[in-house]
Amino acid sequence: MNREELLAFLRTWLPKFRKTIWFRIIYLVVLGIIVAQLYLFTASAISCLIILLIPVLVFVIPYWLGERKIRRFAGNGALVFMIAILVAAAMPTQAILAQSNAVPLRSFPDFRSAAGLNLTNGTVQPYRGVPGQTFTFRVNLTTAGNGTPDAFNVTLNLTAVDGFAFTPTSYRMAYSPGPISSPNTRNGTWYERNVTLGGSIYIYGFSVNDRGRNWTETVSDAGPIIASGWSFYAFFLYYLVAVQGGFPAELVLYLGIIFLWWYMTRARERVMRAGRPAAKPETPPTKPERKEATERTKAGKAAAFTCTNCGADVSESDQKCPSCGAAFED
C-alpha cells in the first residue's frame, strides 16, 4: 500500500471510526494520561496555570470533538479524572520501585533552616530490605562555629504508614566517630542511628537543634523500601485524593465550567425564544362571517355554469338560458 492509498483509506475509515464508542474511549484515555502528566507541574512555579488549564482542557477537547450533552460531559470528566488519578499514582510508585539507592537528604536555607546549622548527606543503608531487618540512618552536621557533638540534638524523624494511619516517631541520633567525622561540628560531624523496622511504608528525614530555639530540618523521602509495590500504589492513591486534594479540586473546577456552559446555553436559548414574535391564536368566525361565507359559496356554485350559446351565467337548475332562450340538454 503506497502513501496515496493509505491516505485514501484513512479518509474513509476515520469518519466511520469517529462514530463508534471506541473513538470516545480512546481519546478519553489519552486525555486522562495527559492530565496525569500535567498534574506533575502543579508542584512547579506554574502551578496556578496548570490548575486552571487541566479542567479547561478536559472540557474543551470533547467539545471540539462534538460533545454537546451535559450528561456526557459529566461522564467524560469522571472517567478522565479517574484515569488521571490511577496514572498519577503509578508514576511515583514506579519511580520508587526503580530506585536502587537512597537520595541524600539535606537542609535548605529557605526551608525550616536556622543560620549556622546545616544538615547534609542524610541516607539510609540498606535502602531496600525485608521486615525485621535493621537499617542504619546517617546524616552530617556542619555548624558555623566550633562545637562538640554533644552540644546538638540530631534527630531521625521516621513516619510509618499503615493503611490510613500515619505514625511519626523520633529517634535521637548518636555521634559516629571515624576518619571523616570530626569531633568539631564546624568541620562536619556524622551522626547515626540503627533501627529495626517492620513491613510498613516509611518516610524519613532529619532535624537538629542547638538545645535552644534554633532548628534545622531536611526534606523528607520515602525509605527504606520494605513494603510491596501495591502498598505504595495504594498509599499514593490515598495521598493524591485525600491528603493532597489536588484532583478533587480539579474536579470541582471542571463541574463549575460545565455549569457555566449549561447556564449560558440555557440563557441564550431563552433570549432567542423571547425575540421571536408570538403566534396569534386563531379565533372561530362569528355568525355573520359564517353566513357571508356560505352565501359566497352558494354564489360561486351558482356561477359555476355558463350558456354555450351566449355565454351568460346560468344555474344548475335552469332548463333554458334566461338570456337567449336556448334550451339545455341533460
Residue 113: Cβ within 10 Å count: 19
Work out the number of other CB atoms within 10 angstroms of the CB of residue 135: 22
Q: Is the peptide bond before 224 cis (omega within 30 degrees of 0)?
A: yes
Cα-atom radius of gyration of the chain, to the nearest Å? 43
CATH number of 117-224: 2.60.40.640
179: cis peptide before it, omega within 30°?
no
Sequence letter at residue 83: I
Cα(261)–Cα(270) distance, integer angstroms? 14
Distance CA 193, CA 136 (A): 6
The reported pLDDT for the residue numbered 100 is: 86
The pLDDT tens digits of the residues spanning 106-135 come to 998 877 888 888 999 999 999 999 999 999
pLDDT value, residue 290: 59
pLDDT of residue 302: 47
Which pLDDT score, from 0 to 100, does residue 179 have? 87
Please report, for the chain, the start and end positions of each structural domain, with discontinuous segments joined by +.
Answer: 3-99+243-263, 117-224
Asked whether the bond before 55 is cis by omega within 30 degrees of 0, the reply is no
Give residue-wise pLDDT tens across range 201-259: 999 999 999 877 788 999 999 989 999 989 999 999 988 888 888 888 889 999 999 99
If we measure between CA atoms, which residue out of 92, 97, 108, 107 comes closest to residue 157?
A: 107
Which residues of the chain, if any, have pLDDT below 70? 1, 276-305, 307-309, 311, 314, 316, 319, 325-326, 328-330
